[in-house]
Chain A
Amino acid sequence: MSRDGTGWAILGLTVRRTWPGAVATAAAVVLVTVTAVVGYVAAYPDPADRVVLAASIGSNPGMVALFGEPRALETVAGFTEWRVLLVLALVGGVWALFAATRTMRGEEDAGRAEILLAAPISRAGVARATAAGLAVVLGLLTAVAVGGLVVGAGRELGTDRAALLGVAVGGIPAIMAGVGAVCSQLVDSRRRAAGLGAIVLGLWYVVRVVADSTPDLRWLRWATPLGWLELAAPLTAPSPWPVALTWATGLLLGLAALVLSRRRDLGAGLVRGRDDGRARTALLASPWGLALRLSRGAALAWSLGMGTFGLLVGLVARTAAEAMAGSTSGSALGGLGIADTGTRAYVGLSFVLATVALATAAAGLAAATREEEGSARLDTILVRPVDRARWLASRLLAAVAVLVLASAALVAGIWTAGRVGDLGVEAGDLALAGVNMLPAALLVLGAGTLVHGLLPRRTATLTYGGVAASFLLEVVGSTVDLPGWLLGLSVFHHVAPAPAVDPDWPAALVLLSLAVVTAAAGAVALRRRDVEPA
């Protein structure tokens, strides 16, 4: 920190830019947990039902793979822990990754870092003050979560355990902020840093799925922070050490980022791609070709991610199918939005989760399109004989191509892994399930385009925020009775968990129509307004 308060000013700026997201995340933690507690008690007042529930979920390797290994599902604490721990860690982790890369890297991308550096402070000082600001906000998130959980669910869960849940859930954002800070030093733009961090989080999830897939591999939990959460078991078998490990790792990553930041140049990353190359001009002949060229990275990353997830889902489904052969339990789950516990149900649930990821991809693509305008690169196109609507249409087409590829990769992954054994799901059904994911993602893309047309500077916040709100609404809605109109606001509520059930084509058609209408409205709005670079 510098002597004359520049460091404090930067710390304050970082806090001001990130605290609303932190408080929203903490509120989501409290809301989801409390509704899980209330919902469980309301849906399963009878101990006998609880035992049946515990047996049927516990015996389904698919469920265990997606949400983690359940413990004491016949108790409120056990059910709540199984239901919320991982979901909340992922939501908080994604938020922290964005917050960290935006503050540690985004300033440089926007060319604002030079302004800060002109103040009497070194670059290391800026990084230190920004990291300190993030630490303050992570503390705020955890404090609000702990406070809310103790007040809202302390009676049912026990005050100390509710508090430990808050601290444990806050540990993943702490680690992901550290990951975001390190990635911000490694690569040369905010988008790449966020992408790299997302890959790390995805890998951790995959390792956890593998660890939970069979008892022989439980030791692998130590290899992933998401496994540390399970080891901490804050509500059922509390152990503070794994929680301490998450926070210590976050701190170490933050310190590592500060050390790394001294070793790179402003605007550059430690890992540099080649700075020269042979000209490949085949695509660079039209706005459409440019959009395709610029989407290559996103297409590759999302397809690889979805393909890997698909392989994993397929492999686990096989194990599940074998384990469940002959089992007939599974009728006790009606109140939880889980209709069946068979392989199809698990694969269907996987598709729903993948739809959430695909919708996140769509939000990212809408935000990237706005970023072309924010960075003034859109000016470079529009001062040439290119119509605004034509440019937007090219971006949208390229985005649709990315989404279609990603969903095809998921289907291909599941099919490839499933072929090895008997998945009990036809290839045709898998393909339809893949198609079934698209309308929701396309609606997010369309809605993001509409925001881009009307409130360009809010595109990323509102579109990502909409996806997160939809997801949380679905999670809450699966444990407590919410009014139909409220649930209907979540885009994911209209996605049938195919192939567990048949796709709801009329609903899909409505989503698709809304996608077209919102995208068109966004195009009209864009044509009628000023072009606004950041």
Chain B
Amino acid sequence: MAVIEAEGLTKHYGAVRALEGLDLEVEEGDVFGYLGPNGSGKTTTIRLLLGLIRPTSGRVAVLGGDPERDAVSIHRDLAYVPGEAALWPELTGTETLHLLARLQGTVDEDYRTELIDRFELDGSKRVRAYSKGNRQKVSLIAALAARPALLVLDEPTAGLDPLMEQVFRACVSEAKERGQTVFLSSHVLAEVEALCDRVAILRAGRLVEVGSLDSLRLGSTLSIEATFRDRPAPDVRAVPGVLDASVDGRTVRCRVDGPVAPLLAVLAAAGAERVVSREPSLEELFLTYYTEDDVPHGPPSGRRRAP
């Protein structure tokens, strides 16, 4: 069953096209990474999913309901953590957690106690005395302790220290094991790489890529480095699929778009001593999408769109 299903989802603010024709499907049990540069429409998407704003056109279903019409029933099974938690400065951490649990309607109290312990939160302090990271912990604990069917997280680890980020990752993994669906918007690519099964990449309000990390890698360029001991390095620039070739003494570096066989044949014939190939990290993938300016739709040339 699709937990989130968007079709042609569009949001304009006056002349600003915050989101344009988004088609998206998130399956039950997925940990779904949602990536994109600042202002690309990630938070707009999330506010549409939460029913806080209304789409200009298109439709979206969350947990089978309309986010605006069925907000109350959807939100019983959903929890959300914003990038910067807006809480009441005069309430203490404990009071805030109590309030949020009562508003949510469901809470696993034992799990909440465990989370308070794991995140090392001092609940006796008032929110105004908390650092940004501590406010974020309150928000995370409240959301996780509700054990919702769908967790919507918008840059949830902003302000957390690396130790707490590890705790957060463990909690998301546990949620996944329990079959909860997680929609994770994040700039921390290592986090997305570690947690997510599928990712979508957004740019200027449009979806440019969606698929599993493996399929994205398959559709992307491979980095190749070949070393020659006592022969000159061959000129590989003319080999089909080769990009950005450079020769540094007896080492050839290049990227390959598409099948790697023609290049391997050339390197083998030239008597390569060592050939190292490396798949791009999510960061490199991400940068490819972000930095190529003139590509409003789809991936750069020659790349297959992942299923």
Contact = CB atoms under 8 A, between A and B. Distances in A.
Contacts of B53: 530-531
Contacts of B125: 275-276
Contacts of B128: 188, 275
Interface stretch (A228-236, A351-359, A381-389): A381-389
B71 A284 contact: no
Contact of B75 (A189, A273, A284, A384): A384
Given A377-B88, A531-B53, A382 B98 contact: no
Nearest to A294: B88
Contact of A384 (B47, B95, B104): B104
Contacts of B75: 382-386
B129 A380 contact: no
Interface string A263-275: 0000000000111
Contacts of A286: 102-103
B99 A290 contact: yes
Interface in B32-90: 47, 50-54, 71-73, 75-76, 78-80, 82, 84-90
Nearest to B99: A284
A293 B80 CA distance: 24
A381 B47 CA distance: 13
Interface in A271-288: 273-281, 284-287
B100 A380 contact: yes
Residue of B52, B53, B76 with highest tally of chain A CB at under 10 A = B52
A383 B88 contact: no
A291 to B, nearest CB: 11
Interface residues of A, number: 34
Contacts of B54: 529-530
Nearest to B130: A275
B54 to A, nearest CB: 6
A531 B105 CA distance: 22
A379 interface: yes
A275 B71 CA distance: 35
B52 A382 contact: yes
A281 B95 contact: yes
B129 A275 contact: yes
B52 A531 contact: yes
A2 interface: no
Contacts of B72: 385-387
A380 B85 contact: yes
Contact of A279 (B51, B102, B123): B123
A377 B100 contact: no
A410 B50 CA distance: 45
Contacts of B95: 279-281, 284
A380 B123 CA distance: 18
A189 B89 contact: yes
A360 B38 CA distance: 41
Contact of B94 (A279, A285, A384): A279
Interface string B224-258: 00000000000000000000000000000000000
B126 A385 contact: no
A87 B61 CA distance: 57
Given A277-B126, A287-B103, A530-B53, A385 B76 contact: yes
A99 B91 CA distance: 28
A273 B92 CA distance: 12
A380 B86 contact: yes
Nearest to B104: A384
A214 interface: no
B291 interface: no
B52 A383 contact: yes
Nearest to A280: B95
B129 A385 contact: no
Contacts of A533: 86
B276 to A, nearest CB: 43
A379 B99 contact: no
B98 A387 contact: no
A276 B98 contact: no
B92 A382 contact: no
Contacts, number: 100
B52 A375 contact: no
B89 A383 contact: no
Contacts of A188: 89, 128
Contacts of A273: 126
A521 interface: no
B3 to A, nearest CB: 16
A376 interface: yes
Interface string B86-119: 1111111011001110111100000000000000
B172 to A, nearest CB: 18
B91 A284 contact: yes
A272 to B, nearest CB: 9
Contact of B71 (A279, A382, A530): A382
Interface string B113-150: 00000000001111011000000000100000000000
A381 to B, nearest CB: 6
Contact of B80 (A189, A276, A284, A383): A383
A384 B124 contact: no
A45 to B, nearest CB: 58
Contacts of B78: 383
Nearest to A277: B92
Interface string B137-166: 001000000000000000000000000000
A283 to B, nearest CB: 9
A377 B92 CA distance: 15
Nearest to A297: B90
Interface in A418-473: none
A71 B98 CA distance: 61
A290 to B, nearest CB: 6
A530 B52 contact: yes
Given A275-B125, A276-B92, A277-B92, A380 B102 contact: no
Contacts of B85: 380
Nearest to A374: B86
A385 B104 contact: yes
Contacts of B87: 377, 380
B126 A384 contact: no
Interface string A357-395: 000000000000000000111011111111100000000
Interface in A515-533: 529-531, 533
A379 B86 contact: yes
A148 to B, nearest CB: 39
A286 B101 CA distance: 10
Contacts of B47: 530-531
A357 B99 CA distance: 33
Contacts of B94: 279, 281
Given A285-B102, A384-B104, A276 B126 contact: yes
Interface of A: 188-189, 273-281, 284-287, 290, 293-294, 375-377, 379-387, 529-531, 533
Given A382-B52, A382-B75, 6 more contacts: A277-B92, A278-B124, A286-B102, A294-B90, A380-B139, A382-B50
17 contacts: A273-B126, A277-B92, A277-B124, A279-B98, A280-B95, A281-B98, A284-B102, A285-B102, A290-B88, A293-B91, A380-B82, A380-B86, A383-B75, A383-B78, A385-B76, A386-B72, A386-B75
The 6 closest A-B pairs by CB, nearest first: A376-B86, A275-B129, A530-B53, A284-B99, A279-B94, A383-B80
